Structure formats: C-alpha cells, structure tokens
Chains A and B, each alone.
Chain A
Amino acid sequence: MATYRLTVNGQPRTLEAEPEMPLLWALRDELGLVGTKYGCGIGACGACTVHLDGVAMRSCSLPLGKLNGEAITTIEGLSAEGDHPVQLAWLEHDVPQCGYCQAGQIMSAASLLNLTPDPSEADISSGMSGNICRCGTYSRIHAAVKTAAQKLS
C-alpha cells in the first residue's frame, strides 16, 4: 500500500492503495467518482476514458503507480455546470440511449477536439473508434462531435 496524492478535477485528493490498482477503481470505489465507467478492464471499449493533462486515457489500464502528478479530469469535472461544448452538443443531438458509454464517449470527443480543433469526418471516425456503444448511437455521436467542433472554433 502507498499514499497517493492526486489532483482530480482541480481538487487535491489523497488515498491509500496498491500501486497496481487501476485509476478507474481508485476513482470509483475510493474517491466516489462513479461517472467514469467500467466496461472491459483491458482498454478496449473506452467506457473508462478520463483526461490526463487534457489527453484521453483509459483509466482501467492505468495503475496508480504509473501516475506522475498529472492533472486528472473525469466526466464530473469536464465543466463546472455540465456545459462543455461537447456536453451541450450531446444534449442538442439527444445522443444517449442507455447512456452508459456516453461519459467515455464525451471524454474522448473533448480530447479529440483539444488535439484536433477542426476535425475532418475521418478524424472524427478514427478518433472516436476506441469507444464502443452497444446501443448504436454512433450516427448521433458523429453529428454531435461536428456540432461541438463548430462551437469551439
């Protein structure tokens, strides 16, 4: 066990855990931030996506021991009022069906737009293909990312 001092959504957070514990389970079970979802545990579905210094990472495959003081952002901290342009675009396009994967989708989209502010169709398709949606909301996700890109530009 070791003591970890993390910066999560701008707040200092301290926890005692094994270095092997993935950030996902530290966020969910130790810090009570359950917006970040468990889907596969092997970094293949994207449900657990968070930002490390603004860049999308799969928190299920990121052990606490590998962190180096990066700023961690979860869906709860993407915006203060839930009004990040990506979140607003998701509402405008009424994207969610079951909704379970959408936090991860939104975090991936926000990261994509951080890195590629004016994405092409192909940029969106490749940038969002790490996130699985079993309900099949991809066409709406695609449209929502485009809307968010326009609002950010």
Chain B
Amino acid sequence: MSTTRTNRRSFLKVSAATGGGMLLGLSWLSSCQNEQVAKAAPSLVMPEEWVTVSAFLKVGDNGVVTIMSPNPEIGQNVKTSMPMLVAEELDVDWKNVVVEQAGLDTEQYSRQLAGGSQSIRVAWEPLRKAGATARYLLVAAAAQQLDVDAGELRTENGYVYHDGSDRKLGYGELASLAATLSPPEEVTLKAAGDFKIIGHGKKNVDAKPIVTGQPLFGLDLQRDDMLYAAIVHPPAFGMKLKSVDDSAARSMPGIRDVVRINAAPEGVELQWSDVNAFPELVAVVGDNTWRVLQARKALQIEWETDSAAESTDAQRQKLQELLDNGTAEEARRDGDPEAAFARAAQVVEATYSAPFLPHNTMEPMNFFAHVTADKAELVGPIQTPEFLRTTVSRLLDLPEEQISIMMTRMGGGFGRRLYGNFGVEAALISEAAGGLPIKLVYSREDDMTQGTYRPEYLVRYRAALDEDGRLIGFHVRGTGTNESPVFANRFPAGTVDNYLAENLSSETNVSTGAWRAPRSNFIAGAEQAFLDEVAEAAGKDPIAFRLELFDRAIEDPVGEENDYDAERYAGVLKLVRDKSGWNTNDDKRGVAAYYCHNSYVAQVLELEMKNDEPHVTEVHCAVDCGIVVNPEGALNQIEGGITDGIGHALYGQLTLTDGVPDQQNYDTYRLIRHNEAPHAIHTHFVESETAPTGLGEPSLPPVIGALANAVYRQTGQRVYRQPFVQPRELRG
C-alpha cells in the first residue's frame, strides 16, 4: 500500500501553451497501481508515497515516475511511445518509469482515440510540453529548496543538479513542493539533437504481463458478482428480430436472465460511430461464458425481413454496372483528359476489385457494463471511448458525468473498435437485466457475421501514353459498397497534365466501416499494380518510371491540391531501390510506393510460387514518417502491416449468400499463418527531424501492389482480383 497526495489547485491555471486544459490532477487508485507496476516491472522498488504532479505523471518518493498513457492501446504501441514523449522532456531515466493506462477523462486529456494513425502526430507537442512543464516545476522546487536561482540548475535522469555548489536533489524529494507551484505560461522544448529517449528503441511496456498471461484485455476482466452475456443477432443482413420464446433457455443451468435490447430506438440521435446493422438483439445473461453461449441455442427466435437479402454475386454485378454506366461525381479534373486519350499512341486500361473483409481482431468484441439508477461503469476495448460515452448517455438518458469508461488493452483494433456497438449493447443489457454487472462476449461467429466490413471495391484505371512513352493522360473511376475508394488528390494526380478522378457509390444493407488504412488498403495496391503495367507499356523500369513522374511533380506540379510531398515520396523509392539492390534491367521482384496517414512507404518484395500460391520470402521497406519516436515499436508496426497486407490480399474474403455470411470462423475464413508469412523484412527509416507521422497503417497499403507486381514478374500473370489466391472451390 502507499498513499497519494494531490494538489489540484495549482493546475487549474494551466495555459494553452502548456497543452490546453489537459494538466489537472486526478485521483489515483494508488494501491491498485503498485500491484500493476510490480507485475510489469518486478525489478523496480515501489515508493512509499506517490505525489501527483500533473494529470500526466506522478512521482514516487524514491524517484520512480508513473506516466499516464491517455490513448487507447490497440497494438500500435502508443502505451510505450506516448509516455516516451513525456519522459523525454521530464528528463528521467526510462528504467525508472512505469506506465499506467488512463481512463476516459475529457477534462484532463484530449483526443483519447485510436484511429487514422494520428496518436503520436497529434500528441507530439502536447505530451512533450506536459513533460517539460513538470520538469519546470521540479526545477522551481529545487531552486526554492536550495535557495538558488532556477537558471543555475540543470536536470539529468531524474535529478536536479546545482553544479555551483555540487548539490543534487532527486525528483522524489521535490515532487511534494513542485505540486504546489504554479505552472509556467510557456516551456522550452528540447532540440531533436538532444533527445535521449525519443529515437532510442524501448520495448513494449506491457511485454512482461503479456508473456506471463496477466489480465490486460477486456475479455480478461473479472469482478465480484459479475455475470456474462451473449447476444443473438439476425442470421442475415436485411433481417430483424420479430419475436423470441426464451422459456427453454431460461431453465438452463447458470442462466439468470434473457433480455431484448434496442440500440437504435426512435427519437434517439446516433453518431458516425454507431454503425450497426443489427440494433435489435436478444441477450442471454448467466454465470459462465460457455453456458450463455449454449443457452442462446435454446432460444426460439422468429426473424422477419426488413430489407433485401443480398448476395455477393449480385452486389458485384451492381458495382460493375455502376462502374460501366453510372453517372459519376467528378472529384478532380486537370487539363483535357478526353483529348489526351483521343491522341494517345497507346492506352492502358485495367480494372481491380477487392471483397468485404471482417476485421478479425483476435480478441472478439466484448465489454463490461454495470448500469445502476444513477451511474454507468463501462470497461473494455474501445478505440473511441468519448463517442461511446455520448451514445450510452443518450440511450440510457444518463448525463455523461455519470458514465465512466476505462479502456483496456485491446486484442487488436484495425478500425473495428471505432464502432462501439458492443459497448452500447453491454450497457443496455446491464440495464435491462436490472442493473447486474455483466461482461458481454461475442463468439467468433458473432464477431465475423456482425458486419462493419471493409467495403467491396471496384476501380478502373486508364492511362494515355504518347509515342515516347510519356504519361499524357490518367483516368481513375472507382466505386464500392457504401463508398468509393478513390482519393482524387493523391499520386499520380499532380504529375500528369490531363487527369480525371471519378467517384460512384452503391448502397447496401451490409454495414461497412473503416478497416486498417481505409480506402488506401485497396486503392494503393490497385494503383501501384496499374502503374507497373503502364511502366511496362512505356518500356520503362517501374522505379525509373515513377521517379520521372515525381520529378514532374517536384519541378512543375499540376494543380495546387496535391496531397503529398513529391520529394519525400521519391526519397523512399530511391532508398528502397538502393537498399534492395534493385536491378533496373530485369528484377524479378515487385515494387510499390504509397503515401497515406502523412507517411511515405516504398517496398520491394520477393516471392516464390509454392503449390500455385505466392509465398513471400523477403521484403525491403523504406519509410519516411518523420522522427521515429520508438524505433523498436516502429519496426514492429512496419513488419506487422506488411504481413497483414500480404495475408489479406492473398486470402481475405467475406462473401454473402442471401444476406448470410459464407464465412463465419477460421475453418472457412483464411488468415495468413506462420508458414505463409515472410520471415525476412528489412525496414529502412529515412533520417529526419520532421515531426512524426503515422506508422500503424502506412506499410499495409503499398505491399499489396508490390505483391501483385511480384506475382506478375514471377508468373507472367497480372492479378486484378483480391484475394489473389481464390478459394479452391472458386477456382475456375
């Protein structure tokens, strides 16, 4: 046990310069914290007393520092890299830092959200300022205690030094006084060259609890008197609940209640995060996950048709019809593309497609909720806790102040947990069951058939080349279920005089949502495969061809709204060319480059054919994401994105027959496995002093293009349809 002292008053004066309204004291569950810390870092000696210096950190009397990690952790490693930003400016020894996950607290923190690869980019300045502010206060406290001017003091590794009198004080000795002082209006941040933690690889702070099986994930949560809940949603998109006879289920062992809930009642305003094809559900509540999963099989449920039962074949025909004949929205036009195609010496055209993909986080959707008359406590895996709170508030008619949300470590997110329907459902089930504390658990089948899929996409590219193989016209026309994949202002926009981008969209009752690198996860592969084909038609090396285009964008860009920096784009391509030893004459590998989430990635990929299936053996990857905060975690993200991209492009596919998903578990849905994954991935970061940008997503999109191009160079066959490896029963 330890005690905690907090001084809230001093931090009420924080100015915008020190990170907005984020620096305020929290009340800590300190006894609990010491246990967590002891498991994560058993070698650290725990302090007798913690002092809260700000919402971002507290200092133990022995100098151990706890840094709060405000953002949801989905495996992108922000729980390590974000506290590194605070620690850098605080000037502490990373070995004496422990990290604690913060819950949702919008008064203290901003943008507690995992999405768009933006966590580090957005927090880059505020978190460093939070560290620098605390360091300023500790120095000010030392100045008082030593009776010297603060300007005579310096800090290093958790100590304040007065070199003039050869004295030093540890942060642990200064924290109590520091917490009573007023924070400064402005703080000075270190120059990049002075970083001691940023840019130096730190291992995952949760690694030890992970490898020893400690409870970390939402699914692991256990509470006294907690019950378990399972839902039943309609078997097909287009159906809804009509009636339920729960008498048999209620009499089964361990079953406590069966309830009906509605997450979209009339008159309640919903938000973007409330994507949900099946708002009306039946839920079984009982004392064991397996028992509730069994009992739901005993429910007699009548479903009714709400809208058309769609099948994949028909949806694809509809997309094709739209692409061929639909009236498109013109997203960008430069020059006179029609004239360019009319005078072209050569026109290259190709059409690419990709299927629905479920997210398949390894930890299925789940959430704990305990809803009583005047408050709701929610704990679980959620990428958007603030949005979840708002929806729960509206549905329970409970003020947001009476709802608490704690984020657990997540067994993957990939966009699925942006949409918190499972958290909403948990709250509604707890309420409907009379205020019981329950943990809702989706079975894998529930998870895979619930929707929120990556949309189906279809895109057609056309390129016009003149007699000398120069690109004089470019046309992209894309469509998809619920959204078009086209980014009008991305490469090669800006590199060609005559350019046209068009969008068409097709509605469906199958719910769709963001999936790791939304839209980019398809369009990058299509575009990069197409450019390979265009380069070949032009008789040029694929890297040289792209670099020519970038030269044009650097010297004389077309239009003013190009999303990318052509020099950085070309930079990663040159880097991967050099590092991979690219052979400009006849390389048998595939190359691709892409820009998304503010970062630039280029790859060279090698594969061999095994039993008619591509097997990727080696990938070279060049990345420009600005300053690399944590090289260890960054490498892991790049490697994971590459493997994930290869796996989904080769095998991923969810199809529907009359509204029913044909794949419901891993016996029929194929995810990449150990023996199919590349084991040699070489990542090369561009050295940079530019502020950091996204890393969780950018390595995935281009690798699909590199893979497609490598397949062509190995087999002579272009691949246009994902998955590149068609399921055996579908092979013609």
Contact = CB atoms under 8 A, between A and B. Distances in A.
A73 B441 CA distance: 25
Contact of A96 (B206, B410, B680): B206
Nearest to A83: B212
B203 A82 contact: no
A128 to B, nearest CB: 4
B105 to A, nearest CB: 23
A94 B635 CA distance: 10
Given A98-B361, A132-B362, 12 more contacts: A29-B228, A36-B213, A42-B666, A87-B211, A94-B632, A98-B413, A99-B75, A129-B675, A130-B673, A132-B673, A134-B360, A135-B640
Contacts, number: 198
B289 A90 contact: no
Contact of A94 (B203, B294, B641): B203
Contact of A138 (B215, B287, B674): B674
Contacts of A136: 639-644, 647, 672, 677
Among the interface residues A18, A124, A136, A139, which one has the most CB atoms of the partner chain B within 10 A? A136
A44 B667 contact: yes
Given A39-B362, A87-B211, A94-B204, A99 B667 contact: no
A98 B636 CA distance: 11
Interface in A100-153: 100-103, 106, 124-126, 128-143
Contacts of B206: 96, 99
Among the interface residues B211, B362, B414, B678, which one has the most CB atoms of the partner chain A within 10 A? B211
Interface string B636-655: 11011111100100000000
Given A29-B228, A96-B206, A136-B677, A38 B219 contact: yes
A125 B675 contact: yes
10 contacts: A22-B290, A35-B214, A37-B217, A38-B364, A96-B206, A98-B361, A102-B210, A134-B414, A134-B644, A134-B671
Contacts of A41: 443-444, 665
Size class of the contact patch on chain A:
35 or more
Contacts of B288: 17, 21, 25, 29-30
B17 interface: no
Interface in A76-105: 76, 78, 81-82, 87, 90-91, 94-103
Given A129-B675, A134-B671, A139 B211 contact: no
B681 to A, nearest CB: 6
A137 B640 contact: yes
B220 interface: yes
> Chain A binding site: helix, strand, loop or mixed by DSSP?
loop
Contacts of B213: 33-36, 74-76, 103
Nearest to B448: A40
Contact of A47 (B203, B362, B671): B362
Nearest to B641: A136
Top 8 A-B pairs, shortest CB-CB distance: A35-B213, A100-B411, A98-B75, A136-B643, A75-B213, A25-B290, A99-B210, A44-B666
A131 B290 CA distance: 22
Contacts of B639: 136-137, 139-140
B644 A25 contact: no
A91 B673 CA distance: 21
A28 interface: yes
A128 B206 CA distance: 23
Contacts of B627: none
B75 A135 contact: yes
B507 to A, nearest CB: 29
A93 B291 CA distance: 39
A108 B460 CA distance: 45
A12 interface: no
A58 B640 CA distance: 25
A10 interface: no
A4 to B, nearest CB: 14
B194 to A, nearest CB: 25
